[in-house]
Amino acid sequence: MHIENSLQPFDIEKEVLTEWSRRPHQHNFFELVFIERGTGKQCINSNILPYKDESIFLLPPYDCHSFEIESATTFVFIRFNALFFKEDKRTMMDYSQWFSNLHYILSSYNRIPGDIIHSDSDRAVLISLIRSMQLEKEQSNYSESILRTNMVAMLNILIRNFENRFLEKHQDKDMQTRDVLQYIQYNLFDNSKLKTNVIASEFNLSPNYVGEYFKKKTGESLKEYILKARVNVAQSRIEYSGQSLKEIAYDLGFTDASHMTKVIKKYYDDAGTSCSTFA
């Protein structure tokens, strides 16, 4: 599998294509794809869904993807990685930790193909932001601060759409339970924020009651839920990333590769499911 690398933290490219000549590939950056005009199909991780005018896709790093073009298509590709969200000395803002937390949500929530925006108003705002960034990037003295501010707004809109999809999936849960689940997803690899007393303080619960509350509302223990969520992210990275086990373990906060594989094997064995990755 070909892996496309980028040395630039941020880039915008517009292309009009009648045929997708690139073979299915992966890359080491996030890529937002805006279909300005055209029809065809998007393939991600062997799943295929159609696209049309003003479709918007988010391609996480290392997911295998390609497009099947049916009518001439105008693509706008926005590529970015964590380096683009370093400290902005001009605005005195540091988005690095914000993007680090966001990274797991962006990587985890969009593992299926298809348009990621389900709100007409959000789509209109996103398209406006994309076009504003295109115009700014064309300036000979373009401002990274302006581009970064637009990107922060755009990613917040994406997250809102992911979260709305998450809430729809958990409609049977009450609002506080859904808030707890979202909190866990957002802080999935920050152990300090997943301690029982911290969660209790965040949601005005008794530390002694958090475990019982979570089990009652979701049907599984808090520890099991967190473990399952982490294993799903790790397993997805192993299947699609092309990264070494050592790199994945480091990125996801496991002690080492051996610890990560043991946790994954234990989870799959306990679930009664074979884990072919380690067969």
Q: Is the pLDDT of residue 75 over 90?
A: yes
Domain that holds residue 62: 2-168
Residues 63 and 185 occupy one common structural domain = no
Residue spans of beta strands (DSSP E) within 45-194:
47-51, 56-59, 65-80, 87-88, 93-94
Same structural domain, 214 and 97:
no
In this structure, are 22 and 69 located in the same domain? yes
pLDDT at residue 111 is higher than 60: no
Q: Is 275 part of any domain?
A: no
Q: In this predicted model, what pLDDT tens digit does every residue of 134-162 receive, in sequence order?
A: 999 999 999 998 999 999 999 889 888 87
Structure tokens at 81: 């990685």
Exposure of 7 in the CB half-sphere (CA atoms within 13 A):
0
Question: Mean of the per-residue pLDDT values for the chain?
Answer: 81
Residues 193 and 119 both lie in one domain? no
Which residue did the predictor score with more confidence, 163 or 250?
250
* Helix or strand run (H / E) with residue 225: helix 222-240
What are the Cα distances from residue 203, in Å, to 164, 168, 176, 184? 20, 21, 8, 12
Last residue of a domain, one of 129, 145, 168: 168
Q: How many domains does the chain have?
A: 2
Chain-centre distance for alpha carbon 53 = 23
The most confident of 35-49, 61-75, 121-135, 173-187, by mean pLDDT: 121-135
